[in-house]
Structure 1
Amino acid sequence: MSSSTPTAATADLPVKRLLVLSLGSIGVVYGDIGTSPLYAFREAIRPVAGDGVSMQEITGIISLMIWTLTIIVTLKYVFFLLKADNNGEGGTLSLLALLAHRLSAGRARFLFLMGLIGAALFLGDAMITPALSVLSAVEGLKLVTPALSPYVLPLSIVILVALFAVQSRGTGAVSKAFGPITLVWFLVLAVAGLSHIIEAPAILKALNPIEAVIFFAHSGYAGFVVLGAVFLTVTGAEALYADLGHFGRKPIQLAWLAIVYPALILNYLGQGALVMQDAATIENPFYLMFPEWALVPAIVLATAATIIASQAVITGAFSLVSQAIHLGFLPRLEITHTSASDTGQIYLPMVNGVLLFGVMLLVLIFQSSDALATAYGISVTGAMVVTTLMFFDFLRVGWRWSLPAALALIVPLAAFELTFLAANLLKIHDGGYVPVLIAGLAVVIMWTWRRGSAMLTEKVRANAIPLKDFIAALETSGHAPNDAAGTAVFLTADPTIVPSAMLHNIKHNHVLHERNIILTIRTENRPTVPVAERVEVERLTDRFSVVTLFFGFMDTPNVSQALGHVRRANLKFDIMTTSFYLGHRKLVPSARSEMPAWQDKLFIALSGIASDPSDYFRLPSNRVVELGAHVAI
């Protein structure tokens, strides 16, 4: 669900193209943060509303919300992080890939852990966002008539199930409407807010950050609790960075500064002005901003906006998991491209199923946006803190900032976000444990896969035969295997050793092909690899060649297509007389494993759900031969 991918440098974009990309980014990038007005102010003011609300409390909370948006979104993301790209791509894993080989081993391991935590927290966010957003929009029906209250939960479930059900068909056609619909949404937010600001202009005091300081200084513990809800205003800010490669820096910046930021500020000020005039509207200040005749259209538009926001988060989860697979954090999962022209539109059936299960569980457990909002925030604040810590390293090694300069930017920002994280941790017993459990499970899975894969590689390498020694022995031996016509391609992770499939073929079939290609697929720490740099060929003998195919972590590893470039590199073979040999390992736990028994079993289970290599690497299905072996880990 992205626009066609622009280049990293968007400074020279024609004005028309800039506007088109900016419109697209409004729907995709800002869908989540654009639905925060539905619940953010309502949840923020609730902790201090028990004994009524004063004007100072209203202006103080609105000021906190405005300056949180300004400092975290505008300053951190729009002005700084959007410039920290990995060849035009953004996001936690993209930044991790960029930094991984430019730091000391100890620091790289720390960032590796941070990257896993950040990715895991985003996946938790991807479950909570659709549930909270859709529930909060549909709950507006209660204000139309209380008789509709019993239908809120069933209708929310129907909308969410339908949303996940259409993922396999792709969102290319409907995504063209996302930008215009969300633009209308932001314009409605602005107009609704402005209409109430005019009626109570005293709310404009909230633009002064001193109001936030005064509120926080006088509200005590309640003010700290309020901070946890105030952070709901910036949910979705990570999407600015994660979707950088879809639209480019300039369009995302323009959309924020010209449309999104002003609309959000006006709406929050308007909600504050409404409550300032009538304290009873604290029940649902967003929907009560609208006159009775406009309530139903507002509910319909809000529901459309939350569906778009949910779609953006789901697509972001697909993209993140795809990156994690290519970077070796997760096993190979089935990835389907839903658009012939836009490689950014992908669908992962297993991820879609897990997200749907998680979203349904959250909706059925919490049943209202009020209850679910308490579970929100920890994943968002945690992910932002992780990004800030990683950005510190980027400032040092990427932009070569001095240590004092980097600390001058990062320390205040990290302190600001850590304060919000601490405030959200107060909700750990009241639903906040949900994103922590989701993220913890995701971290364990990714850490187990990474560790188990490394152990498996070491075990295979320890018992391997060096390829060059094997070739030399074949040439001097008087007992060479029988010749087989055609070309054999052996996929292997290590081109310096003899592939296990080749050894099994010689052992059981007693044949060796006329031409043998040892094929290795490498994922680079950059988003894409140009076609001209995709293939590297090393001829060892007339009979043996080592071919390395390079893909970026955003590329589709289509081996059949890439091998066409090998033929152009003077390595002649006919794909229809070529056999692809894959080594299939059946993993069994070992009593001497370096991992605990539960982790062994988890790694073996993860290996079992991995998609078939022939499908994942797009090999011709009628030319694949699999030879298996048992391996103890």
Structure 2
Amino acid sequence: MSSSDAATSTTHVLEEEVVTINQDENTPKTLAANKLLRRYDSLDIESAKLARRYHHAAAASTENGGWVVLLQLAFQSIGVVYGDLGTSPLYVFPGVFSNGIKDEDDILGVLSLILYTLTLLPLLKYVFIVLRANDNGDGGTFALYSLICRYAKVGLIPSEEMEDQNVSTFQLELPDNRTQRASKLKSKLENSNFTKYFLLFATMLGTSMLIGDGVLTPCISVLSSMSGLKLATQAMTEDRIVWASVGILIFLFTIQRFGTDKVGYTFAPILSVWFFLISGIGLYNIIKHDPLVIKAINPKYIVDYFRRNQKEAWISLGGVVLSTTGTEALFADVGHFSVRAIQISTCSVVYPSIMLAYTGQASYLRKHISDVDNAFYASVPGRMYWPMFVVAVMASIIASQSLISGTFSIIQQSLSLGCFPRVKVVHTSTKYPGQVYIPEINYLLMLACIFVTLGFRNTTKIGNAYGIAVVFVMALTSAFLVLIMILIWKTHVLLIIAYVFTIFAVELVYLSSVLYKFDQGGYLPLAFAMFLMTIMFVWNDVYRRKYHFELQHKISSEKVKEIVDETNSQRLPGLAIFYSELVHGIPPIFKHYVANVPVLHSILVFVSFKSLPISKVPIEERFLFRRVQPKELQVFRCVVRYGYTDARNEEEPFEKMLVERLKEFIREGYCINEEEESNEIGGNEDELNEQVERDVEYLDKAWRCGVVHLMGEQEVVAAKGANVVKRLLIDYGYNFLKRNLRQTNNVFDIPHKRMLKVGMTYQL
């Protein structure tokens, strides 16, 4: 179906004029050159402009950089992505052998488990498979959900438009009849409300568990690194180590407000030194203590380990899986770099270093079984102890930084889905758009980390909690990945089966092990996830109810004309921008405003912000306009589209951008139905151009007279006769969150001096 056919088949209440804005540099000033403009009843302006040019420019910039840029990104990624994964040797062996080592060969069995787990999950699954499922360069649970939403209509808010698929970063290629399996799955997803809710629920769960990682990572990393003081001096008691760790955590969260713009270049040298040291010490221990430890590469030792220990071996898997901590952050942070850069840094630096580190510790423990409780520091040669301690503390802080930054990005993504209450998102870097800081979340994370550190006091219990969070997110990622394999990649069924019965099956085994320690600290991430999911569910549920209410009560074009005609004699000079969340039509609050303030500005623009299920929308393709008929009303609709990592507060003032784009729309809009216009003015091109310039000047004059930002402030209450659950959800849960968090004007930096709030109560 062509775009024109598709647009014609779509029914909207408003009769509007829509044109395609051509922003090519060679655009002629006269309107006669625009021969292909047609009348549509849909928002398909600007949607295809500059798409090819945008992609060619992006590709060219990558090609021009070549290997130099790629290696720079690979180096920077060491400082951002691998802190958690790289510091896991601090606590894995103590977590596995929490009750001591019973048999010397058990060390070989556990080492073999660690080596194969690191190869199967971080390397094979994430670096070579999952990274391919990025969303225009961005990763994480939300990116996977966004991909699925693009290829199947599983979103619960009815704000989809055909024009969204023409955004250059949308890259939509729907499954066709050539792949029957993909088509059937797409149909089932779109026709099942249960599946839609389940996918949203799973996304919320994965997001909440990953935020739980952001709480537990700083605790376990800092405590593990500080535990080295026990071997150095007896004066360092457990209490002192705990309070010293709390001090480091407070410092860590305090500096978050400065942003992470230079985090790569600042931290990469430190972590490079860390990887160099742990690999060097590992190699030293292998040569000095037991070179034959490398025979653990034989998986036979895994079988023997399970035969000897049976249930205890299965329980110990919860400690083994800690070797993969930070792997999900590797996927979540891919947007700051590139897939190829992360693959290079993983294969050349990170993977070999941690393999040597674990092998070296195992070699040391073969000769010093009693040192397992502090295996990392005990295996460090005497002269290297203090340098290693300093680097370990710095590396643990960096490890914490990566998950904290990832948490900020995840919250930002959840906001665009309407799954999280409004919070202030501060973009800390103009160079890296994905680097954000959220003040409220930062201090909540700090308090949570302090309470966890003071409450658990050691890495064993925190490790139990950490394992559940890590494996849960991994398993959820695999479930989404299988959907993507079928629906989008159209992978051969044998490869899908192989993935499910190897990687996914291994993750489920690990998940069963970590759940065994639920009562030993494992309950913490689940409790934390349930708390976050409750907030997300309450906000998202009422958000959807509000949208459906506005959709059902939107104002028709006839009513708009009637309202404007009634106040036509009282039109004030100036431009009024009326904000709303409704994408289709004009919201009911407009009628409420006119009923109480029966005066309208000379030009009225209804603006709705819309989040697309993609990471970025180019600024050139962000604004979609349409004019409410007749033209003399001077009433316009505007949908401003954002991706979930786009900055909402650009350096250029929003109203200036809007007015400039509206001028372009007006200039080219008069070519709609060119024959009709030509007949009305006698076919005089000069008169047509003069009319256009008069309209542009009218807009300029209104802008100079002043801009008023009209903000809809909807109060929501449960309708009469609503059940108890609904009343609790709306009257207490949602309204409590709304009262205690930021309002829309604070989120979008709307100027207070020129803002007018319009209140209305919705009975849902």
Gaps of 5+ in 2: 1-57, 153-185, 667-695
The counterpart of 1:563, out of the listed 658, 674, 677, is: 658
Within 1, Cα distance between the matches of 2:67 and 2:561? 62
The counterpart of 1:548, out of the listed 635, 639, 645, is: 639
Give the deviation of 1:291 after TM superposition. 2.2
> Is 1:210 the counterpart of 2:262 in the alignment?
no
Contact 1:29–1:312 (Cα < 8 Å) also in 2: yes
Deviations 1:101-152 (A, max 9, x none): 4242334433222211111100111101101100110110011011122421
> Is 1:93 the counterpart of 2:142 in the alignment?
yes
Contact 1:493–1:521 (Cα < 8 Å) also in 2: yes
Within 2, Cα distance between the matches of 1:25 and 1:372? 27
The counterpart of 1:43, out of the listed 95, 110, 124, is: 95
Match for residue 590 of structure 2?
502
Q: Normalized against structure 1, the TM-score is what? A: 0.94
> Is 1:113 the counterpart of 2:243 in the alignment?
no
Within 2, Cα distance between the matches of 1:218 and 1:333? 53
Within 1, Cα distance between the matches of 2:663 and 2:205? 43
Relative to 1, partners in 2 of residues 1:478 and 1:41: Cα closer, same or farther, differing over 3 Å? closer
Within 2, Cα distance between the matches of 1:174 and 1:518? 40
Contact 1:495–1:546 (Cα < 8 Å) also in 2: no
What is the identity, as a one-letter code, of the residue corresponding to 1:611?
R
Deviations 1:547-567 (A, max 9, x none): 111111110223436415424
Give the deviation of 1:492 after TM superposition. 1.5
> Is 1:605 the counterpart of 2:736 in the alignment?
yes
Within 2, Cα distance between the matches of 1:98 and 1:138? 41
Q: Normalized against structure 2, the TM-score is what? A: 0.78
Relative to 1, partners in 2 of residues 1:235 and 1:566: Cα closer, same or farther, differing over 3 Å? same
Give the deviation of 1:589 after TM superposition. 4.3
Relative to 1, partners in 2 of residues 1:94 and 1:7: Cα closer, same or farther, differing over 3 Å? farther
Relative to 1, partners in 2 of residues 1:614 and 1:234: Cα closer, same or farther, differing over 3 Å? same
**Quick check: 497-506 or 517-526, which moved more?**
497-506
Contact 2:87–2:221 (Cα < 8 Å) also in 1: yes
Within 2, Cα distance between the matches of 1:490 and 1:479? 17
What is the identity, as a one-letter code, of the residue corresponding to 1:533?
E
What is the identity, as a one-letter code, of the residue corresponding to 1:120?
S
Match for residue 436 of structure 1?
526
> Is 1:157 the counterpart of 2:246 in the alignment?
yes
> Is 1:178 the counterpart of 2:267 in the alignment?
yes
Match for residue 388 of structure 1?
478
Within 1, Cα distance between the matches of 2:251 and 2:59? 34
Give the deviation of 1:439 after TM superposition. 0.9
Give runs of aligned pairs for residues 145-544 of structure 1, distance below 5 A.
Answer: 145-149=233-237, 150-173=239-262, 175-199=264-288, 200-462=290-552, 464-474=553-563, 480=568, 482-540=570-628, 541-542=631-632, 543-544=634-635
The counterpart of 2:758, out of the listed 627, 630, 633, is: 627
Give the deviation of 1:195 after TM superposition. 0.5
Q: What secondary structure sits across from 1:555 in the alignment? A: coil
% identical aligned pairs: 30
**Quick check: 500-509 or 374-383, which moved more?**
500-509
Relative to 1, partners in 2 of residues 1:536 and 1:478: Cα closer, same or farther, differing over 3 Å? closer
Q: What secondary structure sits across from 2:129 in the alignment? A: helix
What is the identity, as a one-letter code, of the residue corresponding to 2:136?
N
Give the deviation of 1:31 after TM superposition. 0.6
Relative to 1, partners in 2 of residues 1:405 and 1:430: Cα closer, same or farther, differing over 3 Å? same
Give the deviation of 1:65 after TM superposition. 0.6
The counterpart of 1:18, out of the listed 65, 70, 73, is: 70
Within 2, Cα distance between the matches of 1:442 and 1:515? 43
Match for residue 3 of structure 1?
none
Please say which structure displays the higher CA radius of gyration: 2
**Quick check: 187-196 or 203-212, which moved more?**
203-212
Give the deviation of 1:194 after TM superposition. 0.5
Give the deviation of 1:413 after TM superposition. 1.6
Give the deviation of 1:182 after TM superposition. 0.5
Give runs of aligned pairs for residues 75-86 of structure 1, distance below 5 A.
Answer: 75-86=124-135
Give the deviation of 1:308 after TM superposition. 0.4
What is the identity, as a one-letter code, of the residue corresponding to 2:505?
A
Match for residue 58 of structure 1?
107
Contact 1:522–1:550 (Cα < 8 Å) also in 2: yes
Within 1, Cα distance between the matches of 2:442 and 2:125? 31
Relative to 1, partners in 2 of residues 1:167 and 1:564: Cα closer, same or farther, differing over 3 Å? farther
Within 2, Cα distance between the matches of 1:416 and 1:9? 40
Contact 1:534–1:562 (Cα < 8 Å) also in 2: no
Contact 1:100–1:112 (Cα < 8 Å) also in 2: no
Contact 1:60–1:211 (Cα < 8 Å) also in 2: yes
Give the deviation of 1:489 after TM superposition. 1.1
What is the identity, as a one-letter code, of the residue corresponding to 1:557?
R
What is the identity, as a one-letter code, of the residue corresponding to 1:607?
K
Give the deviation of 1:568 after TM superposition. 4.5
Relative to 1, partners in 2 of residues 1:269 and 1:496: Cα closer, same or farther, differing over 3 Å? closer
What is the identity, as a one-letter code, of the residue corresponding to 2:246?
I
Give the deviation of 1:183 after TM superposition. 0.8
The counterpart of 2:122, out of the listed 62, 73, 85, is: 73
Relative to 1, partners in 2 of residues 1:491 and 1:109: Cα closer, same or farther, differing over 3 Å? same
Give the deviation of 1:54 after TM superposition. 2.4
Match for residue 211 of structure 2?
123
Contact 1:100–1:108 (Cα < 8 Å) also in 2: no
Give the deviation of 1:426 after TM superposition. 0.7
Match for residue 579 of structure 1?
708
Deviations 1:509-537 (A, max 9, x none): 21022111111111111111112211111
Contact 2:550–2:582 (Cα < 8 Å) also in 1: no
What is the identity, as a one-letter code, of the residue corresponding to 1:153?
V
Deviations 1:85-105 (A, max 9, x none): 111111110110110242423
Q: What secondary structure sits across from 1:557 in the alignment? A: coil
Give the deviation of 1:45 after TM superposition. 2.3
Within 1, Cα distance between the matches of 2:332 and 2:118? 18
Relative to 1, partners in 2 of residues 1:194 and 1:561: Cα closer, same or farther, differing over 3 Å? farther
Could you say what the CA RMSD is over the residues aligned between the two structures, in angstroms?
Answer: 2.1
Within 1, Cα distance between the matches of 2:612 and 2:386? 51
**Quick check: 609-618 or 330-339, which moved more?**
609-618
Within 1, Cα distance between the matches of 2:484 and 2:587? 39
4+ runs of 1 displaced by more than 6 Å? Answer: 6-12
Q: What secondary structure sits across from 2:216 in the alignment? A: helix
Q: What secondary structure sits across from 2:465 in the alignment? A: coil
Q: What secondary structure sits across from 1:549 in the alignment? A: strand
What is the identity, as a one-letter code, of the residue corresponding to 2:141?
T
